[in-house]
Structure 1
């Protein structure tokens, strides 16, 4: 008993010290940009960081997308090593690291999912000068709630007090604005229509108009001229889960076009990516969807299966990873032809490629959806294999920039 009280006092004192040191570190950084939302967080974080860097801001960017990384002041990247699962204490550690480097700005992707932790990261750690909420989608239902309103309220935990926050969300904008006003904060809509086709052609990968609009709005808010900001955005190195398109000419009479849509793993975003890929890259061949499945994201895989049947017409669906037979049953129960739903189980990138090759007559367009990472890293393996077998033809490069 004699040791318990001193131990409690020590822990309380240590906690207070950590709190004030983190707060002190945050206030040493002039511009603190905190990016939250359902989809596009990593892309928007990278875009803003690149725009600031090009304009002379010493900027440290932290993303927790496919793989957690720091983008340093000179644009080089360093992986964040984690001994255990992700923990919000990491954000406090990175704040101090940024303060020690005397940077002008940080752009941090929100790493918290639980609503209470989102609040802590924003209001006890980052205390952002500029907030960003990319959008709200039906995802992480178990952690954030069972409705779009619940999820919106959860994401709004990162709206700062007496500040400014940007969003490209339309449907839930009124609710977000109501919450922002209660905190004395201005909510600004970043209109995707302000981004031109010419702006999009400057990217060497496929970037979404909404993401560019958000990054531009933040950069201009910080006093960066639009032309200068856009030049920086065009220098962005994409996340490994970004939408990329590859052409594979395996033999003269078989051409395969592969689109990496694994990052958009909620149904609504995946449907948008499907439509975008067909609108801009359809080669008139067989349509093949590769759905990667994780046991801990099984409900999401079933939702994607339903989205395929209802909104994403295709000739074949390849199921890869965990519980593929269960998702196969979901597809067939929704009247998707049994022989066109292929349960591959745990399969390598090469095995998926060989199956696509067998299903391709002369040409095909393949869309990968589901998950990049997980126990087997199926999405990563598939993307890497197609990338290594591909080449960007002048025609495809022109289409990618169109």
Structure 2
């Protein structure tokens, strides 16, 4: 019996190895026609950076195809259309093949791919074995996906370093540099380029404190550095923003009225910031740019069953007073009741579980509990109920136009 089990394991490993070898060979054939292959990894802001790159490179005259996996997985056609990737079950590494096939079919000159893998072994296969990018951009290193990537910034940086392509170039903000990036780059004969904090000259008419919602200065610094590497920096200025299309889950504000008294509501979608640290950073930025009320905010925190580490992060953040501007946080999704029970003694913020499973019922309970209206901020996760709630907000705002 033991011998049979050992044989089965060996056979499985051999089959997997042969399959990956074939996929790698197949992808190499699709890679050849492309002038530039660009990959984007990091903890936060990957989809936004890919979309910025696509807009800028098209402005420079390139035929660009792309793949993003932000609030929803999308293929970006050369003509600007976006097509949802149909998944049967869990996400697959082989979605890279779909992007490569699209690029080949539409004769793209540049392919930009948001790497979606979390486990370093999968990230290595996705980047090094399948896509083989010339340029890898690292947005940042944040404490998220702790179960897959590690519990400390150093461990997370090591996981992200798995994507470094042999002989390629790696661009990252200088404040996000960790020694492990240099260590892995040396082994793979890659070059690390630390992008300085100075504001890019080609964007001098666009101050860093006046960017579109969800766009951060570090992303434009990375974009500028990439354009310099491609020797096309002089062709691009901030006018490329005219063709920039934000992710469907990007920060957005909705205004509507609700109830017999037609109470005034403002809802702000920042679900896609996900972890509390990125949410805090984005909220601080938006409070400077948007018309935030002086009164306390209401939060709507969406939990996901497959993101237990993120749920723990939010629990810790609320306990430690990371979001003092909120007077109430309503919790929805898997484990909402258990989450709120852990914070019963938290006197600064009332944490209230909402157990309804449909967006209209959730919003009915939240809004009717606050008949005078208010300012509601979506937190936690855009997936599942988060997206349904945003769609409900959008529909209410549309009806009020």
Verify same fold: TM over 0.5. yes
**RMSD, aligned CA:** 3.2
Moved more, 10-19 or 232-241: 10-19
Q: SS of the residue aligned with 2:58?
A: helix
Instruction: Provide the residue aligned with 1:400 in structure 2.
Output: none
Label 1:353 to 1:267 Cα distance change in 2 as closer, same or farther (>3 A). same
Measured against aligned partners, the alpha-carbon deviations of 1:323-381 in whole angstroms (never above 9, x if no partner) come to 111110222254455xx2221013433334334433546552221111111xxx21001
Output the CA distance in 2 between the equivalents of 1:304 and 1:202.
Answer: 29
Label 1:280 to 1:62 Cα distance change in 2 as closer, same or farther (>3 A). same
Label 1:256 to 1:234 Cα distance change in 2 as closer, same or farther (>3 A). same
Q: SS of the residue aligned with 2:248?
A: coil
Instruction: Provide the residue aligned with 2:310 in structure 1.
Output: 300
From 28, 31, 37, give the equivalent of 2:33: 28
Query: Where do 5+ consecutive residues of structure 1 fail to align?
Result: 394-402
> Is the 1:35–1:41 contact (alpha carbons within 8 Å) kept by the matching residues of 2?
yes
Shift in Å, 1:42 = 1.0
Query: Where do 5+ consecutive residues of structure 2 fail to align?
Result: 1-7
Moved more, 91-100 or 263-272: 91-100
Matched, 1:381 2:383: no
> Is the 2:65–2:112 contact (alpha carbons within 8 Å) kept by the matching residues of 1?
yes
Shift in Å, 1:200 = 6.2
Instruction: Provide the residue aligned with 1:320 in structure 2.
Output: 332
Q: SS of the residue aligned with 1:296?
A: coil
Label 1:230 to 1:190 Cα distance change in 2 as closer, same or farther (>3 A). farther
Matched, 1:365 2:375: yes
Measured against aligned partners, the alpha-carbon deviations of 1:7-59 in whole angstroms (never above 9, x if no partner) come to 99999877644432211221321100011111111111111111111211111
Label 1:318 to 1:14 Cα distance change in 2 as closer, same or farther (>3 A). closer
Instruction: Provide the residue aligned with 1:222 in structure 2.
Output: 230
> Is the 2:174–2:197 contact (alpha carbons within 8 Å) kept by the matching residues of 1?
no
TM-score normalized by the length of structure 2: 0.85
TM-score normalized by the length of structure 1: 0.85
Matched, 1:86 2:126: no
Measured against aligned partners, the alpha-carbon deviations of 1:260-307 in whole angstroms (never above 9, x if no partner) come to 111111221111122223333312233111101122223312311321
Q: SS of the residue aligned with 1:295?
A: coil
Output the CA distance in 1 between the equivalents of 2:14 and 2:163.
Answer: 31
Matched, 1:66 2:78: no
Shift in Å, 1:78 = 0.8
> Is the 1:200–1:207 contact (alpha carbons within 8 Å) kept by the matching residues of 2?
no
Label 1:363 to 1:193 Cα distance change in 2 as closer, same or farther (>3 A). farther
Q: How do residues 8-23 of structure 1 correspond to structure 2 at under 5 angstroms?
A: 16-23=21-28
